């Protein structure tokens, strides 16, 4: 009878340990699931850019920023153009009036953005057609999950989902680094993923910029200023997280594809040969939330080598305006039926 209390105690301990392990397993399983979702990206099928009235794609960092639309850039288009350039071999002669094509050809903003092993490239030569494609994807999870803050942020009068960091005691604060702080409307932070070879930088400012390369120039200046300021006793508080400090960031997620009409249909010359850009396509997907960031992008550029005998240009033969129709015998001069179609009254609806 004396062994019963010990047995009960032993059983209770086992149950508690099992319960704790079970909860830990559940948390680990949930964390692993979220990690896999992050790495997978979990993007819905790509939508065409035309479905988004307030967003645009930029082929280079030097292209003009919109004042009221989201401007999205990814280096894959420039890498695809560079692969094409290696195949054709410059120098290229481009009409100076073709501003976007000139920017694309002259831009060096992609150099060293990625290493060769970071992306996949392919060049196919098929008759008079040359097609270059570049694909890139990267998952940047944080070491720990940041706070999911739900609908607590109002961005330009719209309630949006957000995530962030609160206070100085949390391990989460080690995920963020303040690179420069002037005030609550002018600051620069870095979110640090598990892969320390990458950085996620966010910059809030009231200043207006002509292009993204000008934004980068400003960021470099602020980083240098912050590096100098952090060593002064007076500014030390700016670069450390205190108990009442916090960071709130809107969650972002999209998967968008587009063609570049300012590039397609344009021609350039190289080594006394003329080339027509048949297609310039880019798909970019991006996700940023409390688990980290994911980026996917694919670009394709194809050109046609034009000859004097046959210069290809896409044809769109659409009878959407008044037109003439006639029926005639092959060897007869006159038709046996003719009609000038001026409106849709007699068309099938």
| pTM for the predicted model, two decimal places | 0.78
Q: Distance (Å, rounded) from C-alpha 68 to C-alpha 54?
A: 7
Greater pLDDT, 260 or 172: 260
Give the residues across from 56 on adjacent strands.
71
Same domain membership, residue 32 and residue 53: no
Q: What are phi and psi of 294, to 5 degrees?
A: -135, 135
Same domain membership, residue 74 and residue 18: no
Same domain membership, residue 183 and residue 142: yes
Q: Note the pLDDT of residue 150.
A: 74
Same domain membership, residue 37 and residue 106: no
Q: Note the pLDDT of residue 42.
A: 66
pLDDT at 242 over 70: yes
Same domain membership, residue 25 and residue 62: no
Q: Distance (Å, rounded) from C-alpha 45 to C-alpha 55?
A: 18
13-40 mean pLDDT: 47
Examine residue 206 and state whether it is found in any structural domain, yes or no: yes
Same domain membership, residue 21 and residue 163: no
Query: Is residue 39 a contact partner of residue 185, using CB atoms and an 8 Å limit?
Result: no
Greater pLDDT, 311 or 133: 133
Examine residue 340 and state whether it is found in any structural domain, yes or no: no
Examine residue 261 and state whether it is found in any structural domain, yes or no: yes
90-115 mean pLDDT: 93
pLDDT at 229 over 60: yes
Q: Note the pLDDT of residue 125.
A: 95
What value does the mean pLDDT of the chain take? 82
Q: Note the pLDDT of residue 36.
A: 53
pLDDT at 86 over 70: yes
Same domain membership, residue 283 and residue 150: yes
Q: The domain containing residue 30 runs over which residues? A: 12-42
Q: How many domains does the structure of the chain reveal?
A: 2
pLDDT at 279 over 60: yes
75-87 mean pLDDT: 95
Query: Is residue 86 a contact partner of residue 78, using CB atoms and an 8 Å limit?
Result: no
Examine residue 322 and state whether it is found in any structural domain, yes or no: no
Same domain membership, residue 71 and residue 33: no
Q: Distance (Å, rounded) from C-alpha 210 to C-alpha 137?
A: 28
Same domain membership, residue 301 and residue 232: yes
Same domain membership, residue 217 and residue 121: yes
89: left (phi over 0), alpha (psi -120 to 50) or beta: left
Examine residue 59 and state whether it is found in any structural domain, yes or no: yes
- Of 41-50, 90-99, 122-131, 191-200, the one with minimum mean pLDDT is 41-50
91-119 mean pLDDT: 93
Same domain membership, residue 169 and residue 75: yes
Examine residue 201 and state whether it is found in any structural domain, yes or no: yes
The CA–CA distances, whole Å, from 125 to 6, 152, 243, 277, 302 equal 80, 53, 61, 14, 10
Examine residue 190 and state whether it is found in any structural domain, yes or no: yes
What are all long-range contacts of 174-177, with beta carbons under 8 Å and residues at least 24 apart?
174/143, 175/142, 175/143, 175/144, 175/146, 176/241, 176/247
Give the residues across from 92 on adjacent strands.
270
215-226 pLDDT, tens digit per residue, is: 999 999 999 999
Question: By C-alpha distance, which of 274, 279, 252 is closest to 264?
Answer: 279
Q: Note the pLDDT of residue 340.
A: 63
Same domain membership, residue 277 and residue 138: yes
Q: Note the pLDDT of residue 264.
A: 96
Examine residue 326 and state whether it is found in any structural domain, yes or no: no
Q: Note the pLDDT of residue 20.
A: 44
């Amino acid at each position: 009878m004396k062994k019963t209390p010990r047995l009960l105690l032993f059983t209770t301990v086992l149950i508690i340990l099992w319960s704790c392990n079970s909860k830990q397993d559940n948390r680990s399983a949930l964390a692993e699931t979220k990690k896999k979702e992050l790495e997978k990206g979990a993007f819905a099928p790509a939508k065409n850019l035309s479905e988004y009235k307030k967003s645009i794609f930029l082929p280079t960092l030097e292209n003009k920023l919109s004042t009221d639309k989201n401007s999205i850039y990814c280096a894959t288009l420039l890498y695809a153009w560079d692969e094409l350039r290696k195949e054709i071999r410059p120098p290229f002669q481009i009409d100076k009036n073709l501003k976007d094509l000139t920017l694309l050809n002259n831009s060096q903003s992609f150099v060293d953005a990625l290493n060769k092993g970071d992306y996949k490239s392919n060049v196919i030569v098929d008759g008079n057609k040359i097609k270059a494609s570049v694909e890139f994807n990267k998952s940047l999870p944080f070491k720990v999950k940041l706070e999911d803050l739900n609908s607590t942020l109002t961005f330009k009068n719209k309630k949006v989902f957000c995530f962030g960091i609160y206070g100085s005691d949390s391990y989460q604060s080690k995920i963020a680094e303040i690179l420069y702080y002037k005030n609550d409307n002018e600051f620069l932070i870095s979110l640090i993923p598990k892969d320390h070879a990458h950085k996620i930088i966010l910059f809030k400012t009231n200043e207006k910029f002509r292009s993204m390369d000008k934004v980068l120039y400003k960021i470099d200046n602020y980083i240098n200023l912050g590096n100098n300021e952090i060593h002064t006793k007076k500014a030390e508080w700016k670069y450390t997280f205190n108990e009442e400090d916090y960071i709130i960031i809107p969650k972002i997620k999209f998967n968008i594809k587009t063609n570049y009409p300012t590039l397609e249909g344009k021609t350039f010359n190289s080594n006394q040969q003329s080339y027509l850009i048949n297609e310039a396509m880019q798909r970019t997907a991006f996700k940023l939330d409390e688990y980290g960031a994911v980026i996917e992008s694919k670009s394709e550029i194809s050109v046609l080598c034009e000859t004097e005998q046959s210069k290809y240009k896409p044809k769109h033969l659409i009878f959407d305006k008044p037109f003439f129709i006639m029926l005639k015998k092959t060897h007869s001069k006159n038709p046996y039926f003719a009609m000038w179609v001026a409106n849709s009254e007699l068309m099938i609806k």
